[in-house]
Amino acid sequence: MRLAFSVATEVDPDILIVDEILGVGDGGFREKCFDRIRQFRSSGKTILMVSHDMINMRDFCDRVLLIHNGALIEQGEPSYVVNCYEALLASPQPLHVR
């Protein structure tokens, strides 16, 4: 994962796709990833982050999409969508998408 992230960010892409990579590795590796993501963000690059880590969603995203069973459930401001996700997890009833 370290090598893959390093290569992906070293080529200076216009769009960076990060799929749960921050869930692996030690604290030092994660902090280096976060620093690199912050650099991308400050330079105006597009970052697509796929994660179940709601802290990262709140900290790094301008907009969040909540997808469940392949359907878009909610989208918008990170705190609002994260709250929807947490409510979905806490729901005793399984969510059925129409």
| pLDDT tens string 23-62 | 666 778 778 878 888 888 898 889 898 888 898 899 889 9
Mean pLDDT of 90-98: 66
48: phi then psi, degrees, rounded to nearest 5: -105, 110
One-letter amino acid identity for 65? Answer: L
How many CA atoms, within 13 angstroms, populate the side-chain half-sphere of residue 35?
A: 7
Is the model's pLDDT at 9 over the cut of 70?
no
Decide: 60 and 49 in contact? Cβ < 8 Å: yes
Predicted model pTM: 0.71
Decide: 84 and 74 in contact? Cβ < 8 Å: yes
Q: What are the residue ranges spanned by the domains of the chain?
A: 1-51, 62-98
What does the radius of gyration of the chain's CA atoms come to, in whole angstroms? 15
Is the model's pLDDT at 74 over the cut of 70?
yes
